[in-house]
Structure 1
Amino acid sequence: MRLHSLLLACLISSLLLLGGCATNSASNFKLSNLAKSDIDSVTDMHIKEVHKLCRELTIKLYKRNPRELAKAPPGTTVKKRIAQIFSNQRIKGFTELNGAKSTKAITLSFSEEYPGDRVFALMAGLSSMLFAAYNYQDEFFLLDEIDQQKLYNSARNLETVAWQLNNRRNSTGERYILSNGVSENGIRNLSYERLFGKLISLQDMMALLIADTTNRNITRVVQSAASMTFLPI
């Protein structure tokens, strides 16, 4: 019980630090909150923070890779891409990606044969993978369940994606998608790595909290971040 309380306190503190100070709780109260446990409320906060970080990552990747947005259908903007990435297409797959979603869409973004918008394929895949880890729900209530193994697996998959983003190259030696780099002054830009680090830590902390709450174990997998395979969600 002490571990559960400690994990809950740590996760709430992390979310508040990442998302800024909370507003007045009374003004944000909803009747539906009566049907939520503490874990449900923390899960909801967590999902919002994950969405926020994914949106931030999408914007940064498009700024770094304008050539990818140029491959999109005419009139497509970053704002429209974000709306697509977080739409219900995450559940059934993206038409532009031939129905691919989750890790299949991520794999497509690092395929030499893929001619389309790689940032879209990557972030559409990440978004749908993380959404699947939460049973395709944006909000949780008392009778809802969540699988700690899916959360853990998604964290390991994020590590794999972060490695591929920094290291996967095409036949000419160019990275498929630009991210971290070094400026002309020799200053390293690790902002993308930090975003992935936040996402990974949130998923891991949530997995531990759910495992402790439900008295279920997490099957830990020894897998190199350089692995080309993803764990099932």
Structure 2
Amino acid sequence: MAAALLAGCSAPAPAPRGEVQGPQASVQEWGQSDTNRVATIAMRENLDALFRLADKLYRRNPAEWRKGGAPSRQEAVDLLRSAVLQRMGWPALQQRRDIDALALALSPEFAGDRVGSFVYAVADMLIAAHGDKTEFFLIDGLDAQHLYNAARNVETAAWILAQRRDAQGRPLLLADEINAAQRNLSYEREFGKIIARLDLLAQVTTEKYRRAVIGYAQGLAGGTLLQFLPVR
């Protein structure tokens, strides 16, 4: 019976909707602490979420990707991805970056590609909050308050996107929709995931320094209290 119970405990978890995937180990991980690795993965997931949002928003607002001159929606997303990851500017934002770019992209009078400009501005703000980095190593530090502020900025941006109207009373962009025929809140879910990752990373960053102090004190105590004593 005991053997059967142990066998049951070791059975793999069911995965009817897919299995969790992790990246291949790399040499650069030797230069990363646990917190560095968490921050790198969180940044990668947040940027991927933004690119998914861009594709979804372009699908519902096809006039926007055409404003940028791209021949297709997919190429518009690819151009946006390259601009974010290579830290290039976004012409429609008039050289503005960070929260200034976000304010411009969400202004009712903005006439450029609002989808690309909005997603680029959010991504640029997130990268700025992480010290202008997308990968993190032992020499890098994160500011927990900046991460917390970035989470609040994403909350504000999502609310503005859902509530603000242009001069004709239309939504700035078609996104979430609830009506008698359908209920589509997929945009809100993506924003929620980004906010949750930022808040968790802010907590982990704060915890790292607190735990370092506690660990140092535990080491001092353990040096005297947790020693084996001679028995002969």
TM-score normalised to the size of structure 1? 0.75
Deviates more, 1:82-91 or 1:121-130: 82-91
Is contact 1:151–1:204 with CA below 8 Å preserved after alignment? Answer: yes
Residues 15-34 of structure 1 show CA distances to partners (whole Å, capped at 9, x for unaligned) of xxxx95134x7xx2222211
Q: Mapping of 1:1-233 within 5 angstroms? A: 21-23=20-22, 28-73=24-69, 75=71, 77-87=73-83, 91=87, 93-183=89-179, 185=181, 187-215=182-210
Letter in structure 2 aligned against 1:95: P
Cα 1:45/1:166, change in 2 over 3 Å:
same
Is contact 2:62–2:73 with CA below 8 Å preserved after alignment? Answer: no
CA distance in 1, matches of 2:82, 2:101: 14
Letter in structure 2 aligned against 1:209: V
Cα 1:20/1:151, change in 2 over 3 Å:
farther
Letter in structure 2 aligned against 1:162: A
Letter in structure 2 aligned against 1:197: G
**Structure 2: gaps spanning 5 or more residues:** 1-17, 212-232
**1:168 positional shift:** 0.2
Runs of 4+ in structure 1 deviating by more than 4 angstroms, as ranges, are: 88-92
CA distance in 2, matches of 1:195, 1:47: 14
Cα 1:92/1:104, change in 2 over 3 Å:
farther
Cα 1:90/1:128, change in 2 over 3 Å:
farther
CA distance in 2, matches of 1:121, 1:20: 34
SS at match of 1:87: helix
Residues 53-77 of structure 1 show CA distances to partners (whole Å, capped at 9, x for unaligned) of 1111111110111111121225364
Deviates more, 1:170-179 or 1:99-108: 99-108
Residues 152-184 of structure 1 show CA distances to partners (whole Å, capped at 9, x for unaligned) of 000000110111111000122101111111355
Partner of 1:222: none
Structure with the bigger percentage of helix: 2
**Structure 1: gaps spanning 5 or more residues:** 1-18, 217-233
Cα 1:74/1:137, change in 2 over 3 Å:
closer
CA distance in 2, matches of 1:49, 1:200: 12
Is contact 1:133–1:150 with CA below 8 Å preserved after alignment? Answer: yes
SS at match of 2:99: helix
**1:192 positional shift:** 0.6
Is contact 2:68–2:76 with CA below 8 Å preserved after alignment? Answer: no
User: Aligned residues: percent identity?
Assistant: 33
TM-score normalised to the size of structure 2? 0.76
